[in-house]
Amino acid sequence: MSFFRQSAVALAILAAATTDLLAQRRITGRVTEEGSNAPLVAASVQVAGTATGTYTDNAGNFALQVPSGAVTLRVRRIGYQLRTVVVQADQQSVNVELKKDVLQLDAQVVTAQSGTIEKRTAATTVSAVGAEELNRVPAMTIDQALQGKVTGARINMNSGAPGGGGQIQIRGTTSILGNGEPLFVIDGVIMSNASIAGGANTLTRAGAAGTNIASVQDNRTNRLADLNPNEIEDIQVLKDAAAAALYGSRATNGVVIITTKRGKTGQPRWNLTQRAGASSLLRGLGTRCFADSSRAVSAAAAAASQAIAIEAFNAAKAANGGNIPCYDHVDQLFGETPMAWESALNVSGGNDNTRYFASASRKYDGGIAVNTGALRDNARVNLDQNISNKLQARIDLGYTRSVANRGLSNNGNDPNTSPLYAFGKIPSFLDLRTRDAAGNFPLNRFGGGGAATNTSNPFQTYQFVTNDENVDRFVGSATLGWQVLAGEVNQVRVEYQVGVDRFTQDNFLYSPNFLQYEAQDGLPGTVVTTNALSRQFNQVLRANWNFTPRSGIASFRTVAGVTEEQQGLNVGRVRAQGLIPGVTNVNQGQQLTFQNQELQTDQGLFLQTTALAFDDKLTLGAGVRGDRSSNNGDREKYYVFPSVQAAYRFVNLAPGIDEFKLLSNWGQTGNRPLYGQRFVTFGNTPFINGVNGIGTNPVLGNPDVRPERKTDFVMGFSAAGAGQRVSIDYSYVDTRIDDVLFNRPIPPTAGIAQQIFNGGRLRNKAHEATVTLVPVQRQSFTWISRTAFQQIRNVTEELPIPPFIPANTGFGAAYGRPRITQGVSTTAIWGNRPIFLDDGRVVTRDTIIGDAVPDHEMFFTNTFTVGRFTINTQVDWRKGGDVTNLTQNIWDQFQRSRDYDAPSPCRGQTSANLACVRNAGGVRTMLDTSATATQGAYRFSRWNNGNDARVYVQDGSFVKLREVSLSYSMPQSVARRLLGERISDVRLNLVGRNLAVFMDYWGMDPEVTNFGNGPIRSAVDLAPFPPSRQFFFSIDVGF
């Protein structure tokens, strides 16, 4: 008998009770803002203790059928404090005034699987980001929009390329070999955040040069990029294990709950948003201009040969009237200021039985380099239908088409097709951009050791290479809800939801035959097609039981349920080289094909109870989830994840302290093994003579793998006071992860190098604090200031195997990379540095030289409202967090860095200054201390071929002006005169993103990483796509 047929039987058994219809009456009312008396649109009005409710219309009016007798109405709207009013049995109408909730004390926070509770009473810490915050300043993707808005999360963009590509990590490193990304749930549907490589390393030659289907240096896009912020009502991040525990063995990295907008009863309400703006390069790298010919030639010769350098230099100088020209190639290639625009239209409305929300939007972000850009189309319909007063159905359908033209970037090798990688080697006197009369780009002979086919002209490459990513995605769900009981004491609701998330991603990479580098391998012309199909399916059956005894001392909320989730991903790639000119069909070239297929199923059972007692002052909760997975060694076994939580609220504790809440919780979650880790298989070798070979697998699977287990202990408090002018939230989190998945090293002479197993322990500690202040609150002027602080420390507490270098995190001891070692930070950067011994000798050691995790991060948000104008700013400050700056290493090596000619700090120094001494074969050797020593030569020679990696492991502290917005809300009378009587509100906005960055860091952006999404966050700056800043003017019209 199948899983869900049994569930259906269970549902039938549940059909035990019915309630009588009570006599009804109709009441009407109006909801306004306290003080201004402005009508509040779409405020929720609900009869307490029932599922009966409605929303206010454009004029703030509502009408509602309620039971006879006195009823209590709960009136709320996002951004306002909850208000409870009693409507007497003989009262027909009621007016309700709502107070602004600037401290968000009355906000609702979601709980895993069981709806929402008030933030005021919550015993777990949840970060919430509302629609307003999310959409204030448009971002390329949701990840980018969330930067600096989620306390406890570190959000990085992999590069500045259009189309996105980022990573979200919550409270530090939780895994080494497993999954490191949070679980994303949109309206109950678990959605894929896969990042699938497009095969760009076929051209960049990073890593295994296009032979690895999971190439991690391809500047991949994670598929969170498909979400449209306009459709989202709010995003909440369940961070504590106790909060996320009901997602069981997929919840270790936190759960991001995304809720889309839903229809509200009343006349159709339309919202139109039109944005138009532009992007430009935020920060380039600058360049070194050559003051004299000898330096120009010697720099150029390093990337080719003396003869080529002299010839090219003389030609460039002659063409420039005898002066040495200077081109900033990065500014030139990434110097476009393309249009960006967005059109979004949505409508919501309905009656008591049917409610709908529909939206359609199109957004285009032009890239700052030629032939790059990202286009996203979204459409969504969310339907709520009452079938009877007991049965409700919900159907949500979302569609996305994402098209991104991403150019090439990140790490490379010969033939230097990644632009910043190549520009570091090309002398600044060379004009690469000006095409000759026939339209041909100049040939670049620098970077390939003198052979032109070994290098590229990035201007030509960007002009002619296609690197497109096309995604078609459908996310949909159907939910059937059955209100079994709706009494005052007992309310029971049973829900069955089935959700589907399905997308195809097609990457098309084409490099035509005539490009400079294409001749290198003797097979001119390259085309790579990648086709990925992701299928996710989940279903959940759950029952919620709210129990409010008449004594009123306590109320209980219980949820129990069963889930099944299935995820499949099938990626295929064909690479063809040696094409007939102009042909892009893979059949026409020498082919290589790859495929990878994964499928996994998880089944879970959960139960949780929360009790609220003593006027909602005490919150107590306990829950448990049992999970089994096709990825575990023992597939039949349920792994159990318990949680408990408690909070107590003191009301009016002391003068000026209105609310004071202490909270604490303890919980466990899991991180199940990845697909494939449990299998003992043969390894594959290449084909030989038409036969595929198999042999010993270098990594032995383990039929006993089990989920990693995270245990969180959280303590915190919240306080609000001074007449709703101050609130403080603080939490301390102690996390341990046991049964960590590791590769046990086996001496390779056994013929096997590693075996996967569970063991060891990681330990993370985090402090998170948020302070909200309302320094000024007057009718004409308010100022709301929010400051968030976070600090994360992660340590490898127990390592059952010798120290090791995790895969895909760096480039060896010469440059610095993580090295998992017992007792030290998991994200510590290890690298070579000279150790000066007392006896005068010097040795080079691979030791800790930095840490990728910042000392702390702070986010400052300030909102000023002056009359009808609102100004909002978001500033992020990061202190510390080291970056491996390989971009500078290349630019120094080939003497291209902008500050190359600056004075060396070693000028006039003696051997007493150890920063000017290096290790030359065990002997202390002075660097150049002469009066002409330069900064660039100093850095590169101190680095000393990797003997001192500290030079390029650099502090990534920054202050970023992330968002600025200025908006003007037009008086309704003016708007109606201009645009017609139906208009309810019009807002004009002028916004900017990434407007400025203040830092000592040499590169463009310390928040980039060459290796996309992995469990260990390493910050490797290696020829990324440069970051851009964006400006928009937008108009929002509601009617």
Query: Of 723 and 812, which has the nearer Cβ to another protein?
Result: 812
Minimum Å gap between C-beta 522 and another protein is: 3
Instruction: Give Cα separations from 952 to 84, 144, 207, 407, 1003 (angstroms).
Output: 60, 27, 21, 26, 11
Q: What is the CA radius of gyration of the chain?
A: 31
Instruction: Give Cα separations from 766 to 748, 798, 799, 855 (angstroms).
Output: 39, 19, 21, 11
Query: Of 28 and 306, which has the nearer Cβ to another protein?
Result: 306
DSSP, collapsed to helix, strand or coil, labels residue 1023 as coil
Q: HSE of 998 in the Cβ direction (CA atoms, 13 Å)?
A: 6
Contacts of 890 (CB under 8 A, 6+ apart): 421, 424, 425, 1023
What tokens were used for 581? Answer: 């000119």
User: Which helix (DSSP H) or strand (DSSP E) does residue 422 occupy?
Assistant: helix 419-423
Query: Of 642 and 676, which has the nearer Cβ to another protein?
Result: 676
Query: Of 26 and 635, which has the nearer Cβ to another protein?
Result: 635
What tokens were used for 997? Answer: 């960055």
What tokens were used for 543? Answer: 């029952």
Query: Of 135 and 947, which has the nearer Cβ to another protein?
Result: 947
Query: Of 943 and 1031, which has the nearer Cβ to another protein?
Result: 943
Minimum Å gap between C-beta 481 and another protein is: 16
Q: HSE of 144 in the Cβ direction (CA atoms, 13 Å)?
A: 32
CB contact burial 38-48 (16+ within 10 A = b; e otherwise): ebbbbbbbbbe
Minimum Å gap between C-beta 310 and another protein is: 12
CB 906 within 8 A of CB 931: no
CA–CA distance, 940 with 957 (Å, rounded to integer)? 22
CB 430 within 8 A of CB 446: yes
Query: Of 2 and 323, which has the nearer Cβ to another protein?
Result: 2
Minimum Å gap between C-beta 659 and another protein is: 23
What tokens were used for 46? Answer: 């609900």
Minimum Å gap between C-beta 868 and another protein is: 51
Query: Of 682 and 781, which has the nearer Cβ to another protein?
Result: 682
Query: Of 628 and 786, which has the nearer Cβ to another protein?
Result: 628
Helices 293-301 and 306-319 cross at an angle (nearest 10°) of 130
Minimum Å gap between C-beta 7 and another protein is: 6
Query: Of 64 and 426, which has the nearer Cβ to another protein?
Result: 426
Query: Of 326 and 519, which has the nearer Cβ to another protein?
Result: 519
Nearest to 111, CA basis, from 610, 553, 717, 615: 610
Minimum Å gap between C-beta 672 and another protein is: 12
CB 56 within 8 A of CB 65: no
The DSSP bridge partners found for residue 570 are 533, 597
Minimum Å gap between C-beta 939 and another protein is: 11
CA–CA distance, 984 with 431 (Å, rounded to integer)? 56
Contacts of 664 (CB under 8 A, 6+ apart): 123, 645, 646, 647, 713, 714, 715, 716
Query: Of 523 and 657, which has the nearer Cβ to another protein?
Result: 523
CA–CA distance, 504 with 843 (Å, rounded to integer)? 53
Minimum Å gap between C-beta 605 and another protein is: 6
CA–CA distance, 15 with 9 (Å, rounded to integer)? 10
Query: Of 399 and 547, which has the nearer Cβ to another protein?
Result: 547
Instruction: Give Cα separations from 545 to 11, 108, 507, 606, 608 (angstroms).
Output: 15, 19, 48, 14, 10
Amino acid at 741: L
Query: Of 343 and 609, which has the nearer Cβ to another protein?
Result: 609
Query: Of 207 and 263, which has the nearer Cβ to another protein?
Result: 207
Minimum Å gap between C-beta 626 and another protein is: 8
What tokens were used for 425? Answer: 């080697």
Contacts of 678 (CB under 8 A, 6+ apart): 631, 632, 633, 701, 702, 703, 705
Three-state DSSP string of 183-236: EEEECCEEECCCECCCCCHHHHCCCCCCCCCCCCCCCCCEHHHHCCHHHEEEEE
CB 98 within 8 A of CB 78: no
Minimum Å gap between C-beta 20 and another protein is: 11
What tokens were used for 853? Answer: 């995790």
The DSSP bridge partners found for residue 70 are none
What tokens were used for 75? Answer: 């009136």
Minimum Å gap between C-beta 425 and another protein is: 8
Minimum Å gap between C-beta 541 and another protein is: 8
Backbone angles phi, psi at 214, to 5 degrees: -105, 35
Minimum Å gap between C-beta 217 and another protein is: 13
Query: Of 319 and 599, which has the nearer Cβ to another protein?
Result: 599
CB 981 within 8 A of CB 934: no
Minimum Å gap between C-beta 222 and another protein is: 22
Query: Of 388 and 749, which has the nearer Cβ to another protein?
Result: 749
Minimum Å gap between C-beta 696 and another protein is: 5
DSSP, collapsed to helix, strand or coil, labels residue 1005 as coil
Q: Decide: residue 821, CB within 10 A, 0-12 exposed, 13-18 middle, 19+ buried.
A: middle
Contacts of 887 (CB under 8 A, 6+ apart): 285, 420, 424, 1003, 1021, 1022, 1023, 1024
Minimum Å gap between C-beta 802 and another protein is: 5
User: Which helix (DSSP H) or strand (DSSP E) does residue 689 occupy?
Assistant: none
What tokens were used for 645? Answer: 């939580």
Minimum Å gap between C-beta 706 and another protein is: 14
Query: Of 357 and 446, which has the nearer Cβ to another protein?
Result: 446
